[in-house]
Amino acid sequence: MVRLHQVTKHFPGRARPALKDVSFRVAPREFLFLNGPSGAGKTTLLRLLYGADFPTSGTVTVGKADLGRLSGRKLPRLRRRVGVIFQDFRLVPRRDVFENVALALRVAGGRGKSLVERVEKTLAMVELLDKADARADTLSGGEQQRVAVARALVGRPALLLADEPTGNLDPDNGRRVMQLLADFHARGATVMVATHDPGLLAQAGGARVLHLRDGRLEESP
Amino acid sequence: MSRRGARQGALYRAVRQMRENPWLTSVAVSTLTVALAIVGAYLTLVLNLDTAGRRLTTGAALMVVLHDDVSPSDGASLAREIIHWPQVVRARFVSRGEALARFRRQLGPHAGLLDGLGANPLPNAVEVELTPGIDGTETVVPRLAKLVQVAEVVTSRPWLNRLEQAMTVMGRLALAVGGLLFLGVVLLSTNTVRLAVYLRRDELEIMDLVGASTDYVRVPFVLEALLQALLAAGLASLLLWALLGLLGAPAELPLGVRLSEILRLPPQVPVVLAGVGALAGVLGGMLGVGRVLRNQVRR
Ligand SMILES: Nc1ncnc2c1ncn2[C@@H]1O[C@H](COP(=O)(O)OP(=O)(O)O)[C@@H](O)[C@H]1O
Ligand SMILES: [Mg+2]
């Protein structure tokens, strides 16, 4: 599903690379944690997977697509198949909850009854149906996080990337979000979760964990 | 729920973002209106002066000078004959006495100059007026010159040729100035779009991240610029029409050109303004968004 091959990422003006010679594969339907302290390169790695940034060297493959060679036209299509929960949510503040979630379908040409049904179903899943008309900037942090989850899930992506999905939440809300991700994984999706929180790993039982430190990979035994 | 199921096409989103930024929209429309009004004023002047110039350079009068031995009655019958020629609208015998009286009138306070002349130096003549738009240099003029009664045919052709040349040069100049004005409107539109994009850069980046195509992001901005430009073209036409109505007093200018004719809105102007505005809007829209999208996360 996902393959990184000797990926190195340098940011201009930085002596140390954010990622150094990172190689790994993620099988379809796998649930994978990307763990490491703040600044280890987790966000940078995830960004490579949806083409928000590109490696300095090495190759990144998602599905059959080599992201380094993807044309400007094909990148949007890839992004529609990859659901992303951003560390900072990335909601449109002046739009209501419904439209924020619907956006993921609208950009792919979705509309009509099927769009409304799918958005409502997803909102029900994250327990936000009663807030459908509320502007995104009037929600609490936990609610915004769930809207971000709903938007990532509504298109039923084959690959779900979550960047610190519980980082801003109290333990209760954190567990709810992790449960949503686990449910989505159970329905056949590949899920990658980046977190600096060791507690989260303990919570998620037998999932595979990749440890990142200073941009280098140390796979768990 | 039907509102939510509705397709949010590019036009829908263009109108929505205009309504969400009323301040920017009104600034954009008013500056574009002023710019297009300037283009329109300029166009009005060019078109109307061109019409006036064309009238001057065609259908002008010829002065057919008669030999001294041709009597006034022969001259008058010659005039009656010429009037039936094709391309001739009017032919009138002007006796030397009448010509002198007219000259006196034209000189006005300086008419005393003529008193020193003694005998009347002016000849008998026939004034011939050609159909407007006809240049008689190669048809009517040689035929008149061949008549036995005729001493000379005086035309304003050489002078008019020079005027025409001048008008051609002016025309090119007008085109250059027009091009510059158009460029100004395009730049104005580009910058407005850039500002509009800048104001919603967060939303655009989110759309980009969830898989919007470049066109999905770009087209509403192009449409927004187009709508604003069309609105501005309408307002600019109204503004010009009102302004010209106020200025166009019925005063007479030299060479028989009326001020109200120069200061009237040619019917082409609103159409041209809409076209210029639309083109500038589309160009400005594309340039404005193109730049921003290239600067975004995409390589
Ligand atoms: N756009 C950028 N420009 C320069 N340095 C960056 C940029 N993004 C990330 N970095 C650096 O790369 C390293 C990894 O960052 P990041 O991937 O955000 O870590 P994590 O998500 O694990 O906390 C950090 O040292 C960070 O400062
Ligand atoms: Mg991070």
In order, the DSSP letters of B42-95 are HHHHHHHHHHHHHHHHSS-EEEEEEPTTS-HHHHHHHHHHHTTSTTEEEEEEE-
Q: Are B240 and B48 in contact (CB under 8 A)?
A: no
Mean pLDDT of chain A: 93
Respond yes or no on whether ipTM tops 0.90.
Answer: yes
pLDDT score of B223: 93
Give the number of beta-carbon pairs within 8 Å between A and B.
65
What proportion of chain A, given as a percentage, has pLDDT over 90?
A: 82
- This prediction has a pTM of 0.76
pLDDT score of B298: 43
The rounded distance, in Å, linking the Cα atoms of A134 and A137 is 8
Minimum mean pLDDT among A26-40, A80-94, A104-118, B105-119: which range? B105-119
pLDDT score of B60: 55
Residues of chain B with pLDDT under 70: 1-2, 52-60, 106-110, 132-134, 156-158, 160, 248-262, 291-299
Q: Residue A152 — pLDDT band, cuts 50, 70, 90?
A: very high
What is the A149 CA–ligand 2 centroid distance (Å)?
Answer: 17
**Contact yes or no for B210 and A73 at CB 8 A:** no
Query: In the block, which residue shows the tokens 């979550």?
Result: A162
Measured between CA atoms, the residue of chain B closest to residue A101 is B210
- Across the interface, of B4, B208, B210, the residue whose CB is closest to A116 is B4
The rounded distance, in Å, linking the Cα atoms of B235 and B241 is 10
Using the Cβ of B213 and the Cβ atoms of chain A, whether some distance falls under 8 Å is answered with yes
Residue to mutate (ligand 1; options A8, A10, A14; most atoms within 8 A of CB): A14
- Across the interface, of A54, A77, A103, the residue whose CB is closest to B207 is A103
pLDDT at A6 over 90: yes
**Contact yes or no for A72 and B298 at CB 8 A:** yes
pLDDT score of B299: 38
The rounded distance, in Å, linking the Cα atoms of B140 and B150 is 13
Query: Which residues contact residue B131 at a Cβ distance below 8 angstroms, ignoring those fewer than 6 apart?
Result: B59, B87, B88, B89
pLDDT score of B288: 81
Measured between CA atoms, the residue of chain B closest to residue A132 is B4
Which residues of A lie inside 8 Å of B (Cβ-Cβ)?
Answer: 50-54, 72-73, 75-80, 84, 86, 90-94, 98-99, 102-104, 106-108, 111-113, 115-116, 119, 151
Cβ neighbourhood burial of A50 (10 Å; 0-12, 13-18, 19+)? buried
Amino acid, single-letter form, for residue B269: V
Interface with chain A: mutation pick from B21, B210, B216, B295, highest number of A CBs within 10 Å: B210
pLDDT score of B1: 43
**Contact yes or no for A52 and B209 at CB 8 A:** yes
Residue A27 has which token pair? 């099988």
Amino acid, single-letter form, for residue B132: P
